[in-house]
Structure 1
């Protein structure tokens, strides 16, 4: 093949037409892929998240659905002043921009007051230990009430005027009162008589010189038995 014929094929309209067609197909594929990704990922779309806190769950769900957003409950809490099924917290927060279909995670208010199990602290710990343990568990600890007993020792737990024991379920918003000893003894406690060792020794020495008085009883004579073999003779 001559060189002129070889270079003449590169100048052929058929070859360049095929190359242009292939380039157009590649370009269309790239453009289509970009458009498809933009549509799938909602590129350039920004939805401002509304504030649904302190709204009922049904109302919050409707508000978010109107903006193309979804809602999902992740946890429950308790606020006494708010109604049950009320939104307490949301994530992401209000004002953030997200894309359509994004999930908004919320915490709702519980219908029942949460409770905590009372630990074993009665007659088992000091005031400081009991207060630290109860506070760490989430209890509301009130001013301790002092009773007769060993100083700073826990003798009981009172909640809403009732005595409670270990294992009872206590509402988280209830105030726990600790009954703690004031260091004084009860009048019913048995008293212990203290004896001074010096006085005890003195009493023992005094007792050694004393002689007990008693009557001396003389021994009685043993009667003799008569001898039947040799009877006594009468004079």
Structure 2
């Protein structure tokens, strides 16, 4: 290829047409990214977040929809003094600025009170342990009820006078009454008293004819045999002496003297 032919190719309309088309595409692409992205993201446009706490869910949906903010219910709570389905909390604080299409998460008030599961405390713990466990779980407790049984041992749990079992669902607004033992015997338990039989005593009194019966004194009964033994010993001790003295005395009779 001669130099003149090489330079002639740059003068071709086809080459310059392609280069011009490529330049136009690059310019359009740059402008599209620059301004189209701002339009898509609403660059420079902000919306003031309103305060929708304690408003009904329908009213909050209308207010946020008019401003272009998307609403999502993320959780429920329970406040007894507020009506059901009212907004309790919002993820964005009032006065913040967000772009259109931003999501706000809401916590609404439930129409019924939440429930808790009764733990395994019946016939399995003392009054002190059950009270501490139920209080830590969020239950409301009333004055305990005592029945005959082992002292401070939990025999049951009542709600509005009705016995409930472990694992039952109980509203947090209900008051639990723990049924525990008072340390006394059951009313059904009884003590059989053994009555003394006085028939033998009456027959003995009739046989002796004595109106009064001497009380038995073991000390006196033991003292009498000792006195009798002492008397017998004295009697036995004096008898041999008397016999010896009588045997030693010479026989009395006439005395004969020999003379011479």
TM-score normalised by L of structure 2: 0.59
Structure having the higher Rg? 2
Q: Any stretches of 5+ residues in structure 1 without a counterpart?
A: 194-235
Question: What residue number does 1:183 align with?
Answer: 183
From the superposition, tell whether residues 96 and 146 of structure 1 become closer, same or farther in structure 2 (CA, over 3 Å): farther
The answer as to whether partners of 2:53 and 2:90 remain within 8 angstroms in 1 is yes
- For the residue of structure 2 that corresponds to 1:54, the secondary structure is coil
Distance in 1, matches of 2:125 and 2:140, equals 18
Cα distance, 1:175–1:18 mapped onto 2, change above 3 Å: same
CA distance in 2, matches of 1:58, 1:189: 64
* Residue 39 in structure 1 maps to residue 27 in structure 2: no
- CA change 1:192–1:13 in 2 (3 A) is farther
Partner of 1:76: 76
SS at match of 1:37: helix
Tell me if the contact between 2:122 and 2:156 (Cα under 8 Å) persists in the aligned partners: yes
Distance 1:143 1:96, change over 3 A: farther
Aligned to 2:111: 111
Q: TM-score, normalised by structure 1?
A: 0.65
Q: Distance in 2 between matches of 1:9 and 1:192?
A: 133
Q: Corresponding residue for 1:24? A: 24
Give 1:23 deviation, angstroms: 1.1
**Aligned residue pair count:** 191
User: How far did residue 70 of structure 1 move?
Assistant: 2.3
> What secondary structure, in the 3-state scheme, does the structure 1 residue paired with 2:113 have?
coil
2:162 aligned partner: 163
State the Cα distance separating 1:20 from its structure 2 match.
3.4
Alpha-carbon spacing, 1:63–1:153, altered in 2? closer, same or farther (3 Å): same
Q: Give the superposed CA RMSD.
A: 3.2
- Residues in 2 aligned to 1:95 and 1:37: alpha-carbon distance in whole angstroms: 26
- As a proportion of its length, which structure holds more helix? 2
Q: What CA distance in whole angstroms lies between the structure 1 residues aligned with 2:53 and 2:68?
A: 18
